[in-house]
Structure 1
Amino acid sequence: MRYEVERKFLVAHAGWRDGVTSKRRLTDGLIGQFASAKVRVRLDEERAWLAVKGGRAGLARPEFEYEIPRADGEAMLGLVCEACLIEKTRHCVPYAGLTWEVDVYDGTLSGMILAEVELKHEAQAIELPPWLGQEVTGDPRFRQSAMLRLSQEAGRTVTLAEVLAARP
């Protein structure tokens, strides 16, 4: 079984842009959420896959990913996920031996920028890039589903200040 171990941060300034080595457009659709687990479909420019993520224990959670035909992924986004779509561009930024993923959100979450890094284990020491802001690992306000729900309730895009002011 694969475990995802990651930390997530706000981005303080655009200094990360100088280090981008690649980027790709992603569209995520939430298929289902229950207890502390979720199932989502994700598409990039070339492929589609399903991800099943279990509940988080510390920084780690079980994660299962299965590639599916792109046409099936597109159909799921349109027929199953409806208004629960997240659009973002993921930029890969190497720093101090790790690859940081900086997600710049579009659509209903336009203006949000978050950075995350996957680790080998929870105790792994890392050097934080100077462009990082506050750590939001484990903060329920920064789950994609919570930010999307806040935006839907407001009927518009929401600001970082509104997400921070939301009740965790």
Structure 2
Amino acid sequence: MTTTQTRPTRLDSTPLPVPLKIAAAWTSLMFLYVYVDIYGFFKPGVIDDILNGIVFEFDISATLLTSFLVLLAVPAMMVMLSTTLPARANRVTNLVVAGLYIPVTVFNAVGETWEWAAFYGLSIGLELFLLAAILRWAVTWPRVPTLPASAAIADGHDGRRPSA
């Protein structure tokens, strides 16, 4: 009887492009937003307040619901924008939007009791972790070296399109 030994192989861990990493983080953030809101409905009194026309401390209105839609639409749009914008615009947009969403995320803890500290602490902590990852990837976006003008001319390229 013969036994064959197989050599262990390394798994391929090809690095993902930065836009895909950032889009994945925005997608994860969206899932957390949605699930934290859904799980929040299980808190005693939340459904009763909604049925009585109140969310948090605010009366339910078209303006309030539009504001909620905007708060969720921005990260949803960032998933698409992170994969389609040119690198420079992508980097700047992610830096600005992720930076603006840090205080929005922290605001979710306002008015909560210590009884719910673990729930909101974990959810806000995870959301802040994702926003920090987005900021880090945007700040450390790899740069591609450009040819100096003299090197391009020496190669026969003067930076202009060939004439027809």
Give TM-score scaled by structure 1 length.
0.22
- The structure with the larger Rg is 2
Instruction: Identify the structure with the greater helix proportion.
Output: 2
Instruction: Identify the structure with the greater strand proportion.
Output: 1
Give TM-score scaled by structure 2 length.
0.22
